[in-house]
Amino acid sequence: MTSEIVQFFSVQIALLAVVLILHTYIGLHIIRRTLIFSDLVLDQLAAFGALAGIGLGIEYGTVQSYLPSMIAVLFGALLLALIKPRSRAIPREAVIGIMYAMALVASLLLGDKLRGGEAYVTKTLAGSMLWVTWPLVSITAVVYILLLVFHFVFRRKFIELAENPEGFRKEKFWDFLLFTTQGIITVLIVPIAGVLLAYAFLMIPAAIAAMFTKKWAGAVIIGWTVGFVACLIGLCSSYFFNLPYGPSLVLSLGLFFVVSIIVRCFQAGNKLYG
């Protein structure tokens, strides 16, 4: 029994530690460029791909179910990079939000035609920790490390894109690479964590870090540390009090976010109102 608990926590903690590094870094790009909806678009497309896979007879959560998700997500990354409103009156975030709505609509309409569709739609939102095994952690870790190396090598390009997108050459190409990275990690994480937790992994640690520092390396360290501690608390409360896995982790991350906002408000209150 004790060894089972140790093994369970080892797998979970290893996965969280690996996942949070890249998610925090990519999240910083998304937060600083206000492309908040982009992650939900990709998450929802990954879920749509998984649902389409079920429609084609592929079991949910298996290795084969990653393929339709990957195709849907790559298509999404391409659209995210290519579609930019010409008029300044329409924010890019609005177009991305509409893409999210369309991805959700596609999932819901597909869910209408699948037997037990409602259950699958909820499953893709909530995720399941039961699928987390050592082989899955190994695959996830390898892909994440490869992506981390890629982003470390091209970090100057991506940071310049975030800080000065107007004057950036080949913006659409680098945008596509950024969204593709986001898409790949989405495909890997959504069957395990669900849409909501995947979104929270990306947004919350990065948002907390972005409030406290403008530096990229410092922000990744802050985001990873806060995210890891919050996830550990969420994981323990989920396990020991038998609470839903994904929502417990998101709520724990959310608590840290609210506390960070309060801390930041008090820290700089005089500067604003003085």
Partner 1 sequence: MFQIVQILGLPFLACIIMSSILGYLGIHVLKREVIFIDIALAQIAVIGSIAAHLLFEAPGDSPIAYTCSFGCVLLASAFYALVRSRIFQISLEAVIGISYAIAAAAALFLVGIAPGGHIHIQHILSGSLLWTGWKQIVTSLIVFSVIGCSFYLIRKPMAEISNNYQKNTIKDLKAVSWDFIFYVLLGVVITLSVQVGGIVVVFAYLIIPATISEIFARRLSMQLAIIWTAAITASLGGLLFAYKFDFSIGPSIALFLGCELILVSLVARFMQFNPKP
Chain residues binding partner 1 by CB under 8 A are: 31-32, 34, 36-37, 86-87, 89-91, 93-98, 101-102, 104-105, 108-109, 111-112, 117-119, 121-123, 125-126, 196-197, 199-200, 203-204, 207, 210-211, 214, 243-244, 246-248, 250-251, 254, 257, 261, 264-265, 268-269, 272-273
Residue 97 C-beta: closest distance to partner 1, Å: 4
Residue 67 C-beta: closest distance to partner 1, Å: 25
Helix H, strand E, coil C: the string for the chain is CHHHHHHHHHHHHHHHHHHHHHHHHHHHHHHHCCCCHHHHHHHHHHHHHHHHHHHCCCCCCCHHHHHHHHHHHHHHHHHHHHCCCCCCCCCHHHHHHHHHHHHHHHHHHHHHHCCCHHHHHHHHHHCCHHHCCHHHHHHHHHHHHHHHHHHHHCHHHHHHHHHCCCCCCCHHHHHHHHHHHHHHHHHHHHHHHHHHHHHHHHHHHHHHHHHHCCCHHHHHHHHHHHHHHHHHHHHHHHHHCCCCHHHHHHHHHHHHHHHHHHHHHHHHHHHHHC
Instruction: Pick between residue 140 and residue 238 the one whose CB is nearest to partner 1.
Output: 238
First and final CA of the chain: distance in angstroms? 59
Which of 24, 6, 36 is closest to 253 using CA atoms? Answer: 24
Rounded-to-integer distance, Cα 231 and Cα 233, Å: 5
Instruction: Pick between residue 66 and residue 182 the one whose CB is nearest to partner 1.
Output: 182
Instruction: Pick between residue 126 and residue 143 the one whose CB is nearest to partner 1.
Output: 126
Residue 90 C-beta: closest distance to partner 1, Å: 5
Residue 130 C-beta: closest distance to partner 1, Å: 15
Rounded-to-integer distance, Cα 96 and Cα 90, Å: 11
Residue 75 C-beta: closest distance to partner 1, Å: 15
Residue 190 C-beta: closest distance to partner 1, Å: 14
Instruction: Pick between residue 139 and residue 236 the one whose CB is nearest to partner 1.
Output: 236
Instruction: Pick between residue 152 and residue 273 the one whose CB is nearest to partner 1.
Output: 273
Instruction: Pick between residue 63 and residue 268 the one whose CB is nearest to partner 1.
Output: 268
Instruction: Pick between residue 101 and residue 142 the one whose CB is nearest to partner 1.
Output: 101
Rounded-to-integer distance, Cα 203 and Cα 29, Å: 10
Residue 170 C-beta: closest distance to partner 1, Å: 22
